[in-house]
Amino acid sequence: MESISFMRKHRNLFLLIAVIVVVAIWKPHAAIYGLQRGSLYSLVGLPLSLTLGVVGIMNLAHGDFLSLGIYFVYLFATNLGMDPLVSIIPVFFLLFGLGVVIYKLTITRVMKSGHLNQLLLTFGISMILLEAMNVIWTSRPRSVYVEYSSSSTTIAGVRFGTYELLYVVFAFAVLIALQLFLKKTRLGQATFAVGQNPQGAKIVGINTGFVYLFVFGISIAILGIAAGVMVPRFAIFPSVGSAFTMKSFCLVAMAGLGNLTGILVSGIVLGVGEAIVQSIPGYAGWSDIVFFGVLIAVIMIRSLRRQSL
Amino acid sequence: MSILKLDKVTKRFGGLVAVDNVSMEIQQGEILGLIGPNGAGKTTLTNLISGVHMVSEGKIIFDGIDITFLPAHKRCNLGIARTFQIARPLKNLTVVENIMVGGLFGNGEKLKESKKSALMLCETIGLEEPDQTLDKITVLDIKKIEIARAMATKPKILFLDEVMSGLNMDETREMIDTVRKIRGTGVTICIIEHVMSVIREITERVIVLDRGTILAEGPYSEVSQQHNVITAYLGEDA
Amino acid sequence: MKITKSLVIIMLLIAAALLPVVTEAYFISVAITILTFMTLSISWDMMLRTGQLSFGTAGFFGLGGYTGIIAVADFGVDPLVGIILGGLLAGGVSLLLGMAILRLRGLYFAITTMALASVFMVIIRNLNKLTGGPSGKIVYTTLFNYDSVKVYWLMLGITVGTIVVSEVFQRTRVHFAIDSIRADETVAKSHGVNIYKYLIFVFVVTSIIQGVIGSTYALQYGFVYPESSFSAHYLLLPIAMALVGGIYSTIGPVLGAIILGLSSEYLKLIMPYGHLIIYGVIIVVVVLFLPNGVYGAIKDVTGFRKRRLEER
């Protein structure tokens, strides 16, 4: 895990602000929408960066855990009448527990087996989750209605949804919380050390096994936060989270390993990119493959510079 | 006649300078020793020459050709071969198949041809069970496979990276004879070693590397008396 | 020993070819399905042997299907030509894609191939006029006009062809290149192996196979539809079959396809919903406990017995 990727932190943020300002003037609606949607991508991407950077495995079931979290929120809402945002708390702990259990039962065994086995394992888990959700809840879309979720305001003649600003709030909040965790807590510093140099961390007495377990659990738990904030505005069906797996990886590829702020920046860049494409008349449907184009571009740029993650 | 020339070669890994402004020449047909304390950059230098890494600065000229930006497999085809410090046998292939890889792709041979030459190499170097799989193989045999595999590419220059480590006296003697035999076929040899007795015995010239720069050059007898070389090696026994 | 082996193979081929004569329509269609997945599984394994994990089988399968249907529907070509075109388009796309991503391979390659099916689906949904968009496309000139016996023989031919290609890869210099790349790329390239070239070569060949199978499958029935042509089935099952039968071999995916193909027919009867979960479980269990699959286990046991005999 490098602490500096090929885009330095501050240059990142200035560039981002500049881009947002430019887009805001040219296509204000895309700027707002992109900022909101992109923050959601960042919120989902941050835990993947954590898993990939610290535990060193790519969790192909990432998006499916998000879907599962969304169904948990749905259950709390329909059976207990809980507000989705409130249900973040129990779902967070539920998903943490689930992550820990799955890690202990399966992932520990392939930590030393090489990347192929790890990818195949998480792929298998992803398929199991997806099919299980299909069987239990079928593909019939469901929804949870919350009145404040459809509120909107108009600023400078541009009308936009206010609920989605929560995505931005939560993305920043989780980023700051993670940074604080990594810098100020003992477990966090141990986590950072393991991400930098797992062998070295072991030698100085850090219980790397526990760190891996905890980080994996936390990354699934954070998906619960995203799930809670998404439910009021998203149709609920088993594969709702699947696209997020690949978009999250795209963010990690853009930002480089270990660069959490970069995930936030990259997410917003991707969101704005999609929003711009969506606003082009006749080409709106192509916005879903913007991430793919970005991913290919990142791969080609990195291979020219002979850099990997 | 110089077969390999390094011109102000530097290699940086992030903030670390592993090889610092190194210029050197290797003469055709010589046995050159490359020595220096651990971490001096000897293996990195070998990696730069064979193409595992690309230089950050500088030029590498081999046999008159500028190979600075050539990929590793092309350099092998031109005649650069090397063994690896920590031996890396191809575990999913048998002994003879390992060697055949060198012949097939390093020397462009056809399947039957390369099997024949690989078997011959096995005989020359003393590998008695060519069809054996690699799960139960001895340290000495692994080193022999490394060397035979590199030799199968029919190189003009061969870099031997710490082939003597972990060998007993008889095995070391055998290996020294093998190295001499290889040079006898016209191959230039650059041998990286920590076992000074071997360096003293087979090299005609050594280059001493320390912290990425060249400390000294010359016959071992001279270089080993130099004060800066001794200090760099403080604690190493000769 | 070699003569008996060849005899066995010839007999199996004859038996396979005669199958439709001795059985009825239902079994023929099961056999066609098994052959379809068998070829996908073998082609997936061929890429795996290079050390690269591809999740693109469903993507190229669907791409081939769409090419075949569009070629027949809009350009009036014969279905057999449509099949060839399906393979060619898949090959072309994989060539461009491979050139872009195989320099960085590993995780990047795996995830990019995983995204393929969704990306193709988005493109197809947006190119309404050509592809029929979200409602799919139908054609009334099908392969051999629904004659399932002829379809079966074609599938058998394609499968045998795939097996031949796979075995050629195992027995020529390609085998040495691929195995050395998989074992240790640094060693491979230090001994003259052009890794990039070989990876692209294998990727394109396997994608062509997947495209051919995809278009054959689509042209049997005469329709394509985004969600079903690119279904994750065509990714999940071939992987499970190769894992069960034994990866890094031709016979492994063949065995796995027969075992899982037959048991899935049975499963479908007792478990109409959710039998796909089983495949996910199979993958997880095999990866955790039996990474060499059935073929590997047999090899280990017979190897063990052979050594025991020699020790006496």
CATH number reported for the structural domain that contains residue B27 in this entry: 3.40.50.300
CA–CA distance, C274 with A118 (Å, rounded to integer)? 24
Domain final residue, candidates B154, B174, B209: B154
Q: Are residues B164 and B236 in the same domain?
A: yes
Residue C131 in this model has a pLDDT that exceeds 90: no
**What would the pLDDT profile of A239-279 be if each residue is shown by its tens digit?**
999 999 999 999 999 999 889 999 999 999 999 999 999 98
Q: Are residues B74 and B106 in the same domain?
A: no
**What would the pLDDT profile of B181-228 be if each residue is shown by its tens digit?**
999 999 999 999 988 889 999 999 999 999 999 999 999 988 888 888
Q: Does domain A9-304 have CATH number 1.10.287?
A: no
Average pLDDT over every residue of C189-195: 95
| Containing structural domain, residue C175 | 2-311
**What is the reported pLDDT for A1?**
47
Q: Does C267 touch chain A (CB under 8 A)?
A: no
In chain A, where the domains are located: 9-304
Q: Look at residue B107 and tell me if it is in a domain.
A: yes
**What would the pLDDT profile of C141-171 be if each residue is shown by its tens digit?**
888 887 888 899 999 999 999 999 999 999 9
C19 band by pLDDT with thresholds 50, 70 and 90: confident
Name which of A60, A107, A242, A299 to mutate to probe chain C: the one with the most chain C Cβ atoms within 10 A of its Cβ: A299
CA–CA distance, C34 with C40 (Å, rounded to integer)? 10
A246/C281 touch (CB, cutoff 8 Å), yes or no: no
A7 band by pLDDT with thresholds 50, 70 and 90: low
CA distance C296 to chain B (A): 14
Q: Look at residue B176 and tell me if it is in a domain.
A: yes
For the ranges A200-204, A297-301, C144-148, the lowest mean pLDDT is seen at C144-148
Give just the sign of the alpha carbon dihedral B63, B65, B66, B72. Answer: negative
Q: Does B79 touch chain C (CB under 8 A)?
A: no
Q: Look at residue B55 and tell me if it is in a domain.
A: yes
* Residue of chain B minimizing CA distance to C194: B73
Name which of B82, B83, B92, B154 to mutate to probe chain C: the one with the most chain C Cβ atoms within 10 A of its Cβ: B92
Q: Are residues B160 and B54 in the same domain?
A: yes
C118/A117 touch (CB, cutoff 8 Å), yes or no: no
Is-contact C203 C91, C-beta < 8 A? no
Q: Look at residue B194 and tell me if it is in a domain.
A: yes
Is-contact A266 A42, C-beta < 8 A? yes
Q: Are residues B96 and B21 in the same domain?
A: no
Average pLDDT over every residue of A129-146: 93
**What is the reported pLDDT for A12?**
66
**What would the pLDDT profile of C246-256 be if each residue is shown by its tens digit?**
999 999 999 99
Instruction: Determine how many CB atoms are found less than 10 A away from the CB of residue B110.
Output: 11
Q: Are residues B197 and B213 in the same domain?
A: yes
Q: Any idea what the Cα angle at residue C15 is, between residues C13 and C16, rounded to 5°?
A: 65
C192/B91 touch (CB, cutoff 8 Å), yes or no: no
Chain A residues touching residue C291 (CB < 8 angstroms)? 113, 117
A246/C107 touch (CB, cutoff 8 Å), yes or no: no
| Containing structural domain, residue B133 | 89-154
Give the residue among A242, A294, A289 at the shortest CA–CA distance from A267. Answer: A294
CA distance A146 to chain C (A): 30
Chain A residues touching residue C114 (CB < 8 angstroms)? 60, 245-246
B76/C191 touch (CB, cutoff 8 Å), yes or no: yes
Number of domains in chain B: 2
**What would the pLDDT profile of A157-178 be if each residue is shown by its tens digit?**
778 888 999 999 999 999 999 9
Q: What is the dihedral of CA B110, C45, B133, C312, to 10 degrees?
A: -130
Instruction: Find the CATH number of the domain harbouring C281.
Output: 1.10.3470
Q: Does B111 touch chain C (CB under 8 A)?
A: yes
CB-nearest to B76 from C172, C192, C248 is C192
Q: Could you tell me the strand order of the sheet in which B188-192 lies?
A: B80-82, B157-161, B188-192, B31-35, B205-210, B213-218
Q: Does C191 touch chain B (CB under 8 A)?
A: yes
**What is the reported pLDDT for A77?**
94
Give just the sign of the alpha carbon dihedral A59, A63, A68, A72. Answer: positive
A10 band by pLDDT with thresholds 50, 70 and 90: low
Number of domains in chain C: 1
Q: Are residues B139 and B42 in the same domain?
A: no
Residue C122 in this model has a pLDDT that exceeds 90: yes
CA distance A131 to chain C (A): 6
Domain final residue, candidates B125, B154, B183: B154
Name which of A59, A123, A306 to mutate to probe chain C: the one with the most chain C Cβ atoms within 10 A of its Cβ: A123
Residue A196 in this model has a pLDDT that exceeds 70: yes
Q: Look at residue B84 and tell me if it is in a domain.
A: no
Q: Look at residue B30 and tell me if it is in a domain.
A: yes
**What value does the mean pLDDT of chain B take?**
91
Name which of C112, C196, C287 to mutate to probe chain A: the one with the most chain A Cβ atoms within 10 A of its Cβ: C287
Q: Are residues B5 and B111 in the same domain?
A: no
Q: Are residues B74 and B25 in the same domain?
A: yes
Residue C308 in this model has a pLDDT that exceeds 60: no
Q: Does A19 touch chain C (CB under 8 A)?
A: no
Give the residue among A276, A294, A292 at the shortest CA–CA distance from A284. Answer: A276
Q: Are residues B171 and B222 in the same domain?
A: yes
Q: Are residues B150 and B162 in the same domain?
A: no
C77 burial level (CB within 10 Å; 0-12, 13-18, 19+): middle
Spatial neighbors of A17 by CB under 8 A, at least 6 apart, are none
C26 band by pLDDT with thresholds 50, 70 and 90: confident
Residue C301 in this model has a pLDDT that exceeds 70: no
CA distance C127 to chain A (A): 10
Q: Does B129 touch chain C (CB under 8 A)?
A: no
Residue A121 in this model has a pLDDT that exceeds 70: yes
**What is the reported pLDDT for C290?**
79
Chains in contact with A, where contact requires at least 3 CB pairs less than 8 Å apart? C
Q: What is the pLDDT along chain B (238 residues), one digit of tens a residue?
A: 899 999 999 999 988 999 999 999 999 999 999 999 888 899 999 999 999 999 999 999 999 999 999 999 999 999 999 999 888 899 899 999 999 999 999 999 999 999 999 999 999 888 888 888 888 888 888 999 999 999 999 999 999 999 988 888 898 998 899 899 999 999 999 999 988 889 999 999 999 999 999 999 999 988 888 888 888 876 555 4
Q: Does A134 touch chain C (CB under 8 A)?
A: yes
Helix (H, G, I), strand (E, B) or coil at B9: strand
Residue A18 in this model has a pLDDT that exceeds 60: yes
**What is the reported pLDDT for C312?**
41
**What is the reported pLDDT for C311?**
47
Helix (H, G, I), strand (E, B) or coil at B59: strand
